[in-house]
């Protein structure tokens, strides 16, 4: 396995992969967080061979596949004189807060606008098509502004878009265009382990109540008697604004749609497998598991953690199973 971990300190560059201590860890996320690369080097070797600092760029490739490009954000030194480094990709800058007033924008256009304002490099930005409602986003993180646009687009069109950094370029793609020819089956030799958990303890609701402002006498409700008999009352509540009401939103329909989405038993799946450098948060793969929880379907990767140690590449995948 050919690994390169090249750091550029603005004066020169050096491949620190041969002097790394322990494992290299790369974490990808489906939404709401930047990719993070973590590695460690011995202080005396690093400072004598190649000193680097916060803000230095980091490029990580495996067998010619570009996996990460970002910037050193944190260096931590221990008594043993080991320096642990954490680097993030461009999405880290979406944690900045700002105020945006926009109208007539698609989510794709919103991504381009924010990327331009914050000097972020862009790659492939697929057109989302749906024109977002006019909005005022006040003192909100750039991540949340974009994720709201993604959520509104999904509700209106059924299409889900993923925002990610592709080796230094901000990309925005329909998840349907992120399918990989990767099969994970329970009986496969490469599949090391899996954990399948079912639960009604998180984000499962069988009664929905939507209130208008502080007027508790105005309430839209939907519930499912059958699951209430089985699980007891699991209630979801939200307070909606008069502005939302005046926009023409059908809140009784909204209550029913929320109930439909959340009145189900949750199921989480974690796969431990040999590493594939093409798998990232938002990737779609085919999963086949047998037994009481029979699964044979395409699932989306919520989080992919890749580790590299002693010449072995492993990955742990947290899968979204709607």
Compute the distance between CA of residue 260 and CA of residue 182 in angstroms, rounded to an integer. 31
Give residue 46's pLDDT band: very low, low, confident or very high (50, 70, 90).
confident
Order the strands of the 235-240 sheet from edge to edge. Answer: 215-223, 207-212, 235-240
On whether both 285 and 243 belong to a single domain, the answer is no
Domain of 306, CATH number, reads 2.40.30.150
The answer to whether residues 191 and 280 belong to one domain is: yes
Q: Are residues 125 and 230 in the same domain?
A: no
Interval 102-127 mean pLDDT:
96
Q: Residues 100, 60: one domain?
A: no
pLDDT score of 103 more than 70: yes
CATH classification of the domain holding 41: 2.30.300.10
Q: What is the DSSP letter of 20?
A: B
Residues 158 and 56 in one domain: no
- The pLDDT tens digits for 188-224 are 555 667 888 889 998 899 999 988 766 556 788 899 9
Domain encompassing residue 151: 93-175
Based on DSSP, count helices (H) and strands (E) in the chain, helices before strands: 6, 21
User: pLDDT tens digit string along 241-284?
Assistant: 655 554 545 778 888 888 998 999 888 889 888 889 999 999 99
* Phi, psi for 36 (deg, rounded to 5): -130, 130
Q: φ and ψ at 132, to 5 degrees?
A: -70, 150
Q: How many domains does the chain have?
A: 4
- In this structure, are 41 and 149 located in the same domain? no
Q: Which residue(s) pair with 86 in the sheet? A: 38, 74
Q: Are residues 24 and 145 in the same domain?
A: no
Identify whether residues 291 and 191 lie together within a single domain.
yes
**Shared domain check, 257 and 136:** no
């Amino acid at each position: 396995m050919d690994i390169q971990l090249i750091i550029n300190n603005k004066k020169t560059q050096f491949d620190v992969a041969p002097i790394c201590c322990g494992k290299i860890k790369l974490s990808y996320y489906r939404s709401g967080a930047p990719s993070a690369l973590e590695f460690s080097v011995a202080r005396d070797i690093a400072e004598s061979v190649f000193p680097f600092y916060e803000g230095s760029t980091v490029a990580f490739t495996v067998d010619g596949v570009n996996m990460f490009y970002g910037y050193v954000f944190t260096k931590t030194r221990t008594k043993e004189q080991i320096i642990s480094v954490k680097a993030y990709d461009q999405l880290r800058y979406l944690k900045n807060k700002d105020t945006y007033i926009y109208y007539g924008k698609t989510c794709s256009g919103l991504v381009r606008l924010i990327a331009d304002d914050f000097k972020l490099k862009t790659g492939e930005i697929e057109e989302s098509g749906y024109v977002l409602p006019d909005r005022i986003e006040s003192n909100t993180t750039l991540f949340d502004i974009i994720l709201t646009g993604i959520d509104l687009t999904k509700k209106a069109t059924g299409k889900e878009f993923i925002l990610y950094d592709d080796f230094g370029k901000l990309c925005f793609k329909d998840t349907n265009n992120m399918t990989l020819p990767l099969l994970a089956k329970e009986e496969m030799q490469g599949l090391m382990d899996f954990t399948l958990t079912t639960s009604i303890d998180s984000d499962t609701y069988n009664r929905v109540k939507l209130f208008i402002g502080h007027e508790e006498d105005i309430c839209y409700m939907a519930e499912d008697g059958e699951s209430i008999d089985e699980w007891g009352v699991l209630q979801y509540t939200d307070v909606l604004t008069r502005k939302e009401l005046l926009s023409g939103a059908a809140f009784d329909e909204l209550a029913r749609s929320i109930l439909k989405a959340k009145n189900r038993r949750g199921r989480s799946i974690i796969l431990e497998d040999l590493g594939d450098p093409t798998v990232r948060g938002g990737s779609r793969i085919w999963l086949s598991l047998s037994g009481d929880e029979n699964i044979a379907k395409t699932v989306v990767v919520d989080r992919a953690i890749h580790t590299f140690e002693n010449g072995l590449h492993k990955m742990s995948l947290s899968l979204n199973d709607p």
